[in-house]
């Protein structure tokens, strides 16, 4: 007897990368700017007790930094937990989840896990998106949930706030705006949560705040949705150490402004250097640059230079995503890429 449930028999799980490289530009992890390297947990920390399930202190800090009311914030074990929670809360078997492709793969992975039907509209050829087409599709197929990653991973494309408002004004589906990279460019939609009964915004501490190891993300929505999703969420998923360190980190949250400026400058550098090499690179509102380059085994060749970036397959074969790293890392990446291209040309 086949015991595995039907929906996940063909599931391709999210692949994490365990390759060790000196220069790691594959996962968009920001740099740690908020915590001292020698941070220690206070003596007397109660490891034996369950964490505060309300994460009250952490919510306070997030609220202080973002200006969002604590009752509209639900923190969790990375925004990945929040993506799963939304689907878990709203999608029954065969319900439809709508998004664009390419986008963050966890929307379709969790859809499949919950036996929901993931439907996607292709991005335009230049990876911009057609919100009118998405809205029309939503009116046609009535999805339970619409996911928009804004700005988008892996393309870096930013949807204008007015277009998201257009979608919200023309659908009753739950609209999830995943703002994992919003700090790097664009207007957040977060202040609209009370205006709409169906808007959820997801944020993370993994990118601009440079704390991917902590596993800390949060959902922002109206009271009704936050209360509903809180009931679905397993207790204590946000561990006490993460809450404690998260609070400490957020006390220094003002530091992100300077860091973001630096990332934007370096992003511009990477983009311009790629363009100079006649590589098709895409304007990005994130902490990475997406580009197209046809070179056999490019990932392997870069790894020989000690550099790890992200490659794709299927429709995105020969597309790559390079995270914005430190100044010296970005320079080394560009130098190595130039050398690889030169060697290719010699061989032709
Ligand atoms: C990195 C990323 C996340 C995951 O964030 P965590 O809080 O680390 O789980 C969510 N959405 C997008 C689009 C991302 O790129």
Whether the ω angle into residue 154 lies within 30 degrees of 0, i.e. cis, is: yes
pLDDT (mean) for 68-94: 97
What is the spatial distance between Cα 333 and Cα 138, in angstroms, rounded to a whole number? 41
State the pLDDT confidence band at 309, using cuts at 50, 70 and 90: very high
Count of CB atoms situated within 10 Å of the CB of 161: 16
Residues whose CB falls within 8 Å of the CB of residue 206, separated by 6 or more in sequence, listed in order? 29, 30, 78, 79, 180, 212, 214, 215, 216, 217
Tokens of residue 15, six digits: 């692949």
Q: Give the distance, in angstroms, between the CA of residue 168 and the centroid of all CA atoms in the same chain.
A: 21
Nearest atom of ligand 1 to the alpha carbon of 79: 7
CB 338 within 8 A of CB 330: no
pLDDT (mean) for 196-206: 98
Ligand 1 centroid from CA 204, angstroms? 6
pLDDT at 56 over 70: yes
Tokens of residue 218, six digits: 């949060």
The pLDDT of residue 348: 62
% of residues, the chain, pLDDT over 70:
99
Nearest atom of ligand 1 to the alpha carbon of 28: 1
Average pLDDT of the chain is 96
198: exposed, middle or buried (C-beta count within 10 Å: 0-12, 13-18, 19+)?
A: middle
Q: How far is CA 68 from CA 71, 206, 303, in A?
A: 8, 19, 43
What is the spatial distance between Cα 157 and Cα 160, in angstroms, rounded to a whole number? 10
CB 219 within 8 A of CB 85: yes
The pLDDT of residue 229: 98
Ligand 1 contact, 212 CB (< 6 A): yes
Least confident of 16-20, 161-165, 301-305: 16-20
* For ligand 1, mutation pick of 26, 204, 213 (most atoms within 8 Å of CB): 204
Ligand 1 atom 2 nearest Cα: 180
DSSP 305: T
State the pLDDT confidence band at 39, using cuts at 50, 70 and 90: confident
CB 333 within 8 A of CB 309: yes
The pLDDT of residue 40: 87
């Amino acid at each position: 007897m086949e015991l595995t449930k039907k929906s996940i028999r063909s599931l391709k799980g999210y692949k994490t990368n365990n390759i060790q490289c000196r220069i790691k530009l594959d996962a968009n992890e920001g740099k740690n700017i908020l915590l001292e390297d020698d941070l220690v947990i206070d003596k007397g920390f109660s490891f034996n007790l369950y964490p505060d399930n309300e994460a009250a202190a952490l919510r306070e800090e997030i609220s202080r930094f973002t200006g969002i009311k604590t009752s509209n914030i639900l923190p969790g074990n990375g925004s990945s937990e929040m993506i799963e929670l939304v689907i878990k809360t709203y999608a029954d078997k065969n319900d439809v989840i709508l998004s664009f492709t390419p986008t963050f793969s966890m929307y379709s992975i969790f859809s499949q896990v919950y036996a929901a039907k993931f439907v996607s509209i292709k991005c335009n050829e230049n990876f911009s998106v057609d919100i009118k087409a998405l809205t029309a599709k939503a009116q046609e197929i009535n999805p339970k949930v619409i996911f928009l990653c804004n700005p988008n991973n892996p393309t870096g494309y930013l949807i204008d706030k007015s277009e998201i408002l257009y979608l919200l004004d023309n659908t009753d589906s739950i609209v999830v705006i995943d703002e994992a990279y919003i700090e790097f460019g664009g207007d957040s939609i977060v202040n609209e949560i009370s205006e709409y009964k169906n808007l959820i915004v997801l944020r993370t501490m993994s990118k601009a705040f440079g704390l991917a190891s902590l596993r800390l993300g949060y959902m922002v929505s109206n009271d009704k949705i936050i209360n509903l999703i809180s009931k679905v969420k397993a207790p204590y998923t946000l561990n006490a150490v993460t809450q404690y360190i998260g609070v400490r980190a957020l006390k220094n949250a003002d530091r992100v402004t300077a860091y973001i400026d630096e990332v934007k400058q370096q992003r511009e550098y990477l983009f311009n250097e790629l363009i100079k090499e006649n590589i098709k690179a895409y304007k990005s509102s994130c902490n990475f640059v997406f580009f197209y380059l046809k070179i056999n085994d490019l990932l392997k060749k870069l790894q020989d230079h000690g550099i790890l970036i992200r490659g794709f397959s299927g429709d995105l074969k020969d597309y790559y995503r390079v995270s914005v790293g430190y100044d010296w890392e970005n320079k080394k990446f560009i130098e190595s890429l130039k050398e690889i291209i030169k060697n290719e040309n010699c061989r032709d």
